[in-house]
Amino acid sequence: MRPRKQKIAAAASGQRKVASKRRATKHDWREFDALTDAEILAAARSDPDAQPLGDAQLARMKRPNPKVVRHALGLSQEEFATRFRIPVGTLRDWEQGRVAPDQAARAYLTVIARIPDAVSTALDAAA
């Protein structure tokens, strides 16, 4: 049979041609696979561009999670929204990840998380 007819016949019969060689990649992963976990960790730590973050850096990067803050206070979405004057729809969007709080809202959530009674008192006095 000619090559084209062979392909058509193989396709019709459901046969698949399996590649005998492994596809060449940019990296030789056999060398990596031979490393132990300790060697991989040592190599990662020796890379100046991939140093682990310190406690101060992690604290600076941590963002308040509205759902966690609300659960910590033991409030429903409606109660939290009413108490801290946040629209319920906005709170739901933040909690479901549809919208991320902007910088001012993140600061507000941080203050609520740290001193919720003071925020409530200040808002009640302003009303």
Reported as a single tens digit per residue, the pLDDT across 57-107 is 887 777 899 999 999 999 999 999 999 999 999 999 999 999 999 999 999
pLDDT of residue 16 exceeding 60, the answer is no
pLDDT given at position 41:
85
- Of 10 and 90, the structure prediction assigns the larger pLDDT to 90
Q: What percent of the chain has pLDDT over 70?
A: 81
Nearest-5° Cα angle at 21, 19 to 23 = 95
Residue 47: phi and psi, rounded to 5, are: -80, 115
Alpha helices of 3-115 — where are they, by DSSP H? 3-13, 29-33, 37-46, 55-61, 66-73, 77-84, 88-96, 103-114
pLDDT given at position 58:
81
pLDDT of residue 14 exceeding 60, the answer is no
Q: Rounded to whole angstroms, how far apart are CA atoms 112 and 127?
A: 18
Structural domains present in the chain: 59-126 (1.10.260.40)
pLDDT of residue 121 exceeding 60, the answer is yes
Q: Rounded to whole angstroms, how far apart are CA atoms 106 and 102?
A: 6
Residue 17: phi and psi, rounded to 5, are: -90, 125
pLDDT given at position 22:
59
Average pLDDT score over residue span 26-52: 85
pLDDT of residue 49 exceeding 80, the answer is yes
